[in-house]
């Protein structure tokens, strides 16, 4: 899923599974998430986001009343939904947000841009 989001330049945020409900609400207000993909064990935390339940998805396994990631993929294949083309990013296109642990105050967002990822990948590939 991460690779797909990067390819179509849809920014995403990584939330800590150790967040308290207060920290999660703060982080979510910064990220302005419109969808949440969560593990079943963190569903109760995801529900504190204020998003409608049909905007919260289960990453692995299944949970009654929620759509799983596997169900989304199966539905897209079954309905022959075409893949989105790769969207070209410019250097300041946001790739994703990561948040600090918040041990010394509220969690702080760290913005990572597409250019950083491309440069890191290029440096990594030079070793092969």
Closest CA to 42 of 14, 5, 70: 14
CATH number at residue 71: 3.40.50.980
Backbone angles phi, psi at 93, to 5 degrees: -75, 125
Cα dist from 100 to 13, 24, 105, 123, whole Å:
12, 12, 10, 25
Query: Residue 17 carries which DSSP code?
Result: T
Domain count within the chain? 1
Q: Residues 46-104: pLDDT tens digits?
A: 999 889 999 999 999 999 999 999 999 999 999 999 988 888 888 888 888 888 776 77
Return d(Cα 97, Cα 14) in angstroms, integer. 6
Q: Residues 11-43: pLDDT tens digits?
A: 888 888 888 888 888 888 888 899 999 999 999
Question: Looking at the DSSP assignment, which residues form a beta bridge with residue 96?
Answer: 12, 112
Expressed as residue numbers, the domain containing 10 is 2-125
Query: Where do runs of H (alpha helix) occur along the chain?
Result: 2-7, 21-31, 43-46, 69-78, 114-125
């Amino acid at each position: 899923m991460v690779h797909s989001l990067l390819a179509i330049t849809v920014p995403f945020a990584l939330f800590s599974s150790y967040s308290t409900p207060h920290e999660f609400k703060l982080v979510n207000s910064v990220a302005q998430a419109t969808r949440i993909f969560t593990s079943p064990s963190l569903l109760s935390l995801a529900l504190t986001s204020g998003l409608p339940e049909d905007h919260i998805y289960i990453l692995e396994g299944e949970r009654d009343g929620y759509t799983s990631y596997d169900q989304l993929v199966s539905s897209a294949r079954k309905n022959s939904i075409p893949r989105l083309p790769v969207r070209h990013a410019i250097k300041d296109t946001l790739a994703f947000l990561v948040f600090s642990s918040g041990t010394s105050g509220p969690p702080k967002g760290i913005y990572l841009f597409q250019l950083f990822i491309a440069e890191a990948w290029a440096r990594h590939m030079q070793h092969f």
